[in-house]
Structure 1
Amino acid sequence: MIPFRFLHAADLHLDSRFAGLSHLPQGIRSYLRESTFAALGRLVGVAVAQRVDFVVISGDVYDVSDASLQGQLRFREALEELGRHGIQVFLIHGNHDPLDGPRLSAAPPEHVTVFGGSEPERVTVRRRSDGAEIAVVSGISYPTSKVTENTALRFSRQPGSSLFHIGLLHGNVDGDLQHETYSPCTRKDLIGRGYDYWALGHIHKRSTLHAHPPIVYPGNIQGRSIKETGPKGCYTVDVSAEGAAVLRFHELDYVRWQVREISIEGLADEAEWTRAVENAVEDIREETPQMMSVVRFRLTGRGDIHKVLAEKGAADDLLTELQRRESVRAERKEYAGLVWTEGFSIETGLAVDRELLLLEDSFLGEMLRLAGHSAGDAAGLDELVAAALRPLMENQELRRLLLSVGPEEKQEWLRSAAELGITLLSGLEESGGVLVNPAEAGMEHSAEIAADGEGQQGREVEE
């Protein structure tokens, strides 16, 4: 086998709308909208600098089926730049940009292969330096936005070929519950097709599902919400003469999303809490001085500061001030090192001995025991939530929204309700007393202070 190198990317989501951040200052909003294109530019730069023989893109080039003209033109510009360096491109379309979506009717450049939506086509790839045959690339696009068939079973090796086989597939492997089950399949299905590398797309979290053969999700190239945290990018893959694949991750993101935890334990007052948050902002600025960051702070632990956070609007006030400061930086076009606080997730509680409360023969003790039992029992949690929300189900719109709530949100509601019960029923409000064991874990009061100023977190668009 002849050694070669290729680049694997997926889920570019060009011209993403960044759901849930509509109330940002215009300059920051524009910077975010540009970030997917900037990440694409970095992808081209990596392909050129690493002298890859070809690039594979595993679906969702665009964020929506009716891709903007700007998105299409910028993508074509990137393809043409790769072509000028002799780099071939092989791509498929996914559920966000299916083949039936309205787009420019111009044919792709000669060095670009767009796989169709009927059967996985096979293309033999040649090495840039000498034209020697090095691999067979196969792929299948989504003809429409919803493909529920196991399309992996349509793939097969080219008869008699000893070349390295790469399959491009946009789908949900092993039923990831966080994503739509489009083109569902299993690792066993993929391994059984006899391919040497599976270049996957659809799941935005980077992961290698299997080592031999590699079954790889590179993740998306630019995070677009607080659910897509950490470095985002692509892989370059070196294939040896023995057919072994070595992967190297390259960061491409222009804006880094992250969640930071700040414990209120040991903080004496509101001023100390404010300094803790401000210090965390500066730490992020020092860690990522060349890029913009968007952060959500998770406030955890138990202490008297919980009352300030839960009742006096301190988190709202500090959020407004932090955003004002960063808006000033944005007005000066100082986006490198800008740290935009997206919101606070308040998961704190009063300083109580929860274990002692659980042993009490009281209404509060019984309530906490019920909450603990329901939290560990999915069916019990559903039954409890359904009973509590039954009066709201009479409203059609509320019923639709409530039925879409996932298990994590239900768990969060339960934790919040339990913490509110502790606050209202423990007698601490009247006595001013503080019970011991503030380090007790798993007792968060959960409430989110959203960046849009309306107390609503925008739902991430489906992947």
Structure 2
Amino acid sequence: MNGMVPFRFLHAADLHLDSRFTGLSHIPGPVRDYLREAAFAALGRLVAVALEEEVDFVVISGDVYDSADSSLQSQLRFHEALLELSNNGIAAFLIHGNHDPLDGPRLDMELPDGVTVFGADMQRQATAVRRADGREVAIVSGISYPTAKVTDNLSLRFRRKEGSGLFHIALLHANVDGDPAHETYSPCTRRDLIDSGFDYWALGHIHKRRILHERPYIVYPGNIQGRSVKETGTKGCCIVDVDDSGIAALRFKELDEVRFLIRDIPIEGMARETDWIEAVERAVEDIREEHPKLMSVVRFRITGRSAVHRILAEKGVPEDLLDELRRREALRAGQGRFHGLVWIEGFSLESGTELDRERLLAEDSFLGEMARLAAGSAADGSTLEELVRTALAPLGENRELRRLLAEAGEDEMRVWLKRAAETAVTLLSDALEPDEETGGMPGGRQGGR
């Protein structure tokens, strides 16, 4: 492809306009309103980045809306964004995914100039041009979902346009190589995409930013705005520069207005509950300093071992502190100070009682055997899944619980196992305290906790 015309484009996916933030409770009105506006704010930043970077065109790889029955507001706001791009000479190419399939009810609005929405077949390919001089730079292809559930391998329908020396871009909403954390819609393999002859696969559906391959680039940009603590870290889009030899280079641009975080608060060395409270308050201020221009939503994981664990476990991790910290942040929100606001989603108690873990693992006892089983399962994904599925099998009769189990990822199952093991160790350790009269260990167990 020597002698190509250099150009630049923006790749985004999974806008999920109108998305409901999950896992959040006791949210005051101003905070709820700010969260509801976050995806639209990220869309506004996307347009601003396209203008600042002087991209020649934008590609959006599915799930513009969060549901097939998208709201009037989300449709009008997205149309407004497309119009702003169009008025600045920036073309847009987009597809629909499983959340916003073509059969969903929508307003019949005339698309702005330069906007291409691909249908459910491969009969249409579009040519992208460079804004500066109108020279042709790329062939863009895409397939939208006709309905919410597409289980065919759509990647096999893509065909490179014969005889064209232009850069070829494919828009696809798909689960590549069977990511277990997402529905297996339009399943395909990396090899399918590599062998296609396309130069850049602009993917959507997976909300975590990933580069699966280079030359050709196979890219998930992730969603533009996180929606829960399952979607932590920076969210945004990719800026792609293609040089005169057809080689692409990527840069990531942040777009999110609200950042979801998981932070650990270790309790080693803590003897009093006040030590833990001070650590939590310091962590909140640290996050505020790290992200002064964002609202942060954080889940604190309590980790490590100390006497404080027993206090927190018995109290169910103090709800009073959570209420007080939320009250302080609500006051900030009431004053319109959302940048730097730190909303605590909750606490996850993953700590344990003080014990000699190495000694416990070496013990010839019930506790030792249980500890070894938990440690081995946590290290082996297949063993972990089998143990969790077997233990929770009786819950499978409930449809909602069955759905939650099916969606659980390996990291989440490790947390379940760790909590179960710590709870068992705590309860059994209490039962196996030294006998006050004899100083021995009841039940025939030898050794300390």
Q: What's 1:351 paired with?
A: 354
Q: What's 2:188 paired with?
A: 185
Length-normalised TM-score, structure 1: 0.88
| Range 308-317 or range 336-345, more displaced | 308-317
Q: What's 2:252 paired with?
A: 249
| Range 382-391 or range 411-420, more displaced | 382-391
Structure 1's 48 and 406: CA in aligned 2 closer, same or farther, altered over 3 A? closer
- Per-residue displacement from partner, 1:51-107 (whole Å, max 9, x unpaired)? 111110000000111000000000000111111101111000000000000111223
Q: Secondary structure at the match of 1:124?
A: strand
| Range 68-77 or range 282-291, more displaced | 282-291
Structure 1's 226 and 123: CA in aligned 2 closer, same or farther, altered over 3 A? same
Measured after TM superposition, the shift of residue 315 of structure 1 is 3.4
Q: What's 2:265 paired with?
A: 262
Q: What's 2:445 paired with?
A: none
Task: Name the CA distance, whole Å, in 2 between partners of 1:180 and 1:416.
Answer: 27
- The structure 2 residue matched to 1:169, chosen from 153, 168, 172, is 172
- The question of 1:129 aligning with 2:128 is answered no
- The question of 1:364 aligning with 2:367 is answered yes
Instruction: State whether residues 181 and 407 of structure 2, in contact with CA within 8 Å, keep that contact through their aligned partners in structure 1.
Output: no
- The question of 1:197 aligning with 2:200 is answered yes
- The structure 2 residue matched to 1:52, chosen from 43, 52, 55, is 55
Q: Secondary structure at the match of 2:318?
A: helix
Q: How does 1:376-415 map to 2 (within 5 A)?
A: 376=379, 381=384, 384-385=387-388, 388-389=391-392, 392=395, 405=408, 407-415=410-418
Instruction: State whether residues 423 and 429 of structure 1, in contact with CA within 8 Å, keep that contact through their aligned partners in structure 2.
Output: no
Q: How does 1:311-330 map to 2 (within 5 A)?
A: 311-330=314-333
Measured after TM superposition, the shift of residue 313 of structure 1 is 3.3
- The structure 2 residue matched to 1:332, chosen from 335, 339, 347, is 335
Q: What's 1:87 paired with?
A: 90
Task: Name the CA distance, whole Å, in 2 between partners of 1:149 and 1:411.
Answer: 32
Amino acid paired to 1:302:
R
Amino acid paired to 1:426:
S
Structure 1's 168 and 320: CA in aligned 2 closer, same or farther, altered over 3 A? same
Task: Name the CA distance, whole Å, in 2 between partners of 1:429 and 1:271.
Answer: 29
Length-normalised TM-score, structure 2: 0.91
Measured after TM superposition, the shift of residue 415 of structure 1 is 2.1
| Aligned residues between the structures | 433
Structure 1's 421 and 330: CA in aligned 2 closer, same or farther, altered over 3 A? same
Instruction: State whether residues 120 and 140 of structure 1, in contact with CA within 8 Å, keep that contact through their aligned partners in structure 2.
Output: no
- The question of 1:306 aligning with 2:309 is answered yes
Q: What's 1:42 paired with?
A: 45
Instruction: State whether residues 9 and 59 of structure 2, in contact with CA within 8 Å, keep that contact through their aligned partners in structure 1.
Output: yes
Q: Secondary structure at the match of 1:167?
A: strand
Structure 1's 104 and 390: CA in aligned 2 closer, same or farther, altered over 3 A? closer
Q: Secondary structure at the match of 1:67?
A: coil
Q: Secondary structure at the match of 2:350?
A: strand
Structure 1 regions of 5+ residues with no counterpart? 434-463
- The structure 1 residue matched to 2:114, chosen from 90, 111, 114, is 111
Q: What's 2:160 paired with?
A: 157
Measured after TM superposition, the shift of residue 411 of structure 1 is 3.4
Measured after TM superposition, the shift of residue 300 of structure 1 is 0.8
Structure 1's 50 and 259: CA in aligned 2 closer, same or farther, altered over 3 A? same
